[in-house]
Amino acid sequence: MIPERLAFIDLETTGANPVRDRITEIGVVEVDGDRVTTWNTLVNPGRPIPEFIQQLTGIRNEMVAGAPSFAEVAEELTARLQGRLFIAHNARFDYGFVKNEYQRLGERFRADVLCTVRLSRRLFPQSPRHNLDSLIVRHGLQPNDRHRALADADLLWQLWRVLQREPGEAALAEAVQQQLQRPILPPHLDPALLEDLPESPGVYLFHGEDDALLYVGKSVNLRQRVLSHFAADTRAYKEMRLAQEVRRIDWHETVGELGALLLESRLVKEGQPIHNRRLRRAADLCAWRLEEVAPGDFRPHLVSGEEAGFGGAGELFGLFATRREATTVLRKIAEAHQLCPVILGLEKPAQPGRPCFAHQVHKCKGACVGKEAIGLHSARLMAALAKLKLEAWPWPGPIGLVERDDFMDVEEIHVVDGWRYLGTAKSDADIHDLLEQASTAQFDRDTYKLIRSHLGKGKLKVRRF
Ligand SMILES: [Zn+2]
């Protein structure tokens, strides 16, 4: 069950960012059954190595000055890794660096990847630590030159041999299999999909016969999420039908989660996919607005999403999918707070001078017959509605919510005005275009909630225009 051809890999680099930093050393232990080959090379990163990293690894600038560049070793590395399981400790790091180095050369690199941190966590779930130093102690590994590429790659090979004995081949194979699990794609899909799906955040679209839009979904890991739809253990009827119907999959990568959520919400509304739960359109939305009909006398009026112009909303409450929902909620609030349903407009008034029915059963404090001052009733109504109050747009104009991925060194700016999502920009020219078309953007509840909650977290930088 475990692939025959293995490559234990370790890299040294100029830093932790696979986009900005470069490889300074590669160590590979190739294993084919009983045959073990090692390979080690310094790599000239084409830039200075920070002092603290020189100290950590012992790889100094003068050592790599005469070493080959990555471009010069790429061909040999390809030959050594081709068709092998790529095994590394915290493999996302090493795999990310190797992929990026090839990308700079205009080449693609892909391998089946096995992470020994995940492997260790799986096999020894009771152990709190799985870094290399902890594994050396726990399993009695013999380090010969910590923080040099080949020495660390060799530690992984030592670890592998320990695991073959304890917990043994069968348990090891099962843990490896669990990481490598490749789903069987539905027959109509192009197998190249497995190679192409990125592991980045974004939105994916399933198309069926005649290119009908079946489903729109989002994830912080497109590859994982899309493939999970086809996992062999999925027995859910809905998933099975989707897998049978899908003919083509599209995706849009985003920098982060908010971008994916906003795009998903927009694409679902625009495309009305067959298998998504239908989301309400803006026109159906409504909210209560308090209007002062006489001094101190506030009465609720139902206003539609469009009418309310939620952008500048001052005293709006709720945001309901339907008028019926709005009425039901107000009725419950009235009962809970002994407010008068007649004053609130929920019921027709009884005969003049007669209290409402609610008052007769002690559910209204009697504002309808002057037993409660109307000003007091209004004040209690406002307090009761407070929790439902819609937040007014806190800026004088549009803003950009900046979503950054430092690891990949990319950013996107989500342009929002009055809670309305205008679109996502990657440049100042994009921002300009979006602001020009601002008037066509609709207010909707999902976007309002998404943006409000992300603003509340305070993690995104806000850019004013
Ligand atoms: Zn009453």
Helix axes of 116-123 and 91-104: crossing angle, nearest 10 degrees: 160
Structure tokens, 221? 């890991």
Instruction: Give the Å distance between the CA of 298 and the centre of ligand 1.
Output: 15
Instruction: Give the Å distance between the CA of 349 and the centre of ligand 1.
Output: 9
Closest CA to 260 of 20, 99, 17, 446: 446
Instruction: Give the Å distance between the CA of 316 and the centre of ligand 1.
Output: 24
Instruction: Give the Å distance between the CA of 366 and the centre of ligand 1.
Output: 5
Instruction: Give the Å distance between the CA of 377 and the centre of ligand 1.
Output: 10
For residues 281 and 270, give the distance between their C-alpha atoms in angstroms, rounded to a whole number: 10
Instruction: Give the Å distance between the CA of 362 and the centre of ligand 1.
Output: 9
Instruction: Give the Å distance between the CA of 368 and the centre of ligand 1.
Output: 4
> Tell me, what DSSP letter sits at residue 20?
T
Instruction: Give the Å distance between the CA of 386 and the centre of ligand 1.
Output: 21
Instruction: Give the Å distance between the CA of 339 and the centre of ligand 1.
Output: 7
Instruction: Give the Å distance between the CA of 250 and the centre of ligand 1.
Output: 58
Instruction: Give the Å distance between the CA of 295 and the centre of ligand 1.
Output: 20
Instruction: Give the Å distance between the CA of 289 and the centre of ligand 1.
Output: 20
Instruction: Give the Å distance between the CA of 302 and the centre of ligand 1.
Output: 20
Closest CA to 45 of 18, 19, 25: 25
> Tell me, what DSSP letter sits at residue 255?
S
Instruction: Give the Å distance between the CA of 385 and the centre of ligand 1.
Output: 18
pTM above 0.85, yes or no: no
For residues 74 and 82, give the distance between their C-alpha atoms in angstroms, rounded to a whole number: 12
Tell me which residue has tokens 């660096």.
97
Cα distances from 182 to residues 191, 253, 349, 382, 408, in angstroms, run: 12, 22, 68, 57, 26
Instruction: Give the Å distance between the CA of 370 and the centre of ligand 1.
Output: 9
Residue 314: per-residue pLDDT:
57
Instruction: Give the Å distance between the CA of 353 and the centre of ligand 1.
Output: 11
Instruction: Give the Å distance between the CA of 287 and the centre of ligand 1.
Output: 23
Instruction: Give the Å distance between the CA of 20 and the centre of ligand 1.
Output: 70
- Is the CA virtual torsion 43, 46, 48, 53 positive or negative? negative
Largest CA distance in the chain: 101
Instruction: Give the Å distance between the CA of 308 and the centre of ligand 1.
Output: 28
Instruction: Give the Å distance between the CA of 292 and the centre of ligand 1.
Output: 19
Residue 193: per-residue pLDDT:
80
Instruction: Give the Å distance between the CA of 361 and the centre of ligand 1.
Output: 10
Instruction: Give the Å distance between the CA of 343 and the centre of ligand 1.
Output: 7
Collapse the DSSP code of 126 into the 3-class scheme (helix H, G, I; strand E, B; otherwise coil) and give the result.
Answer: coil
Instruction: Give the Å distance between the CA of 323 and the centre of ligand 1.
Output: 22
Instruction: Give the Å distance between the CA of 375 and the centre of ligand 1.
Output: 14
Cβ atoms of 50 and 15 closer than 8 Å: yes
Kindly report whether the peptide bond that precedes residue 349 is cis, defined as omega within 30 degrees of 0: no
For residues 266 and 241, give the distance between their C-alpha atoms in angstroms, rounded to a whole number: 24
Residue 251: per-residue pLDDT:
96
Instruction: Give the Å distance between the CA of 357 and the centre of ligand 1.
Output: 7
Instruction: Give the Å distance between the CA of 382 and the centre of ligand 1.
Output: 17
Instruction: Give the Å distance between the CA of 340 and the centre of ligand 1.
Output: 4
Instruction: Give the Å distance between the CA of 363 and the centre of ligand 1.
Output: 8
For residues 229 and 84, give the distance between their C-alpha atoms in angstroms, rounded to a whole number: 27
For residues 458 and 287, give the distance between their C-alpha atoms in angstroms, rounded to a whole number: 27
Instruction: Give the Å distance between the CA of 424 and the centre of ligand 1.
Output: 50
What would the pLDDT profile of 61-83 be if each residue is shown by its tens digit? 999 999 999 999 999 999 999 99
Dump strand ranges (E) for 75-161.
85-88, 113-115
Residue 320: per-residue pLDDT:
87
Instruction: Give the Å distance between the CA of 330 and the centre of ligand 1.
Output: 15
Residue numbers of the chain with a pLDDT score lower than 50: 313
Instruction: Give the Å distance between the CA of 352 and the centre of ligand 1.
Output: 12
For residues 234 and 261, give the distance between their C-alpha atoms in angstroms, rounded to a whole number: 24
Residue 385: per-residue pLDDT:
94
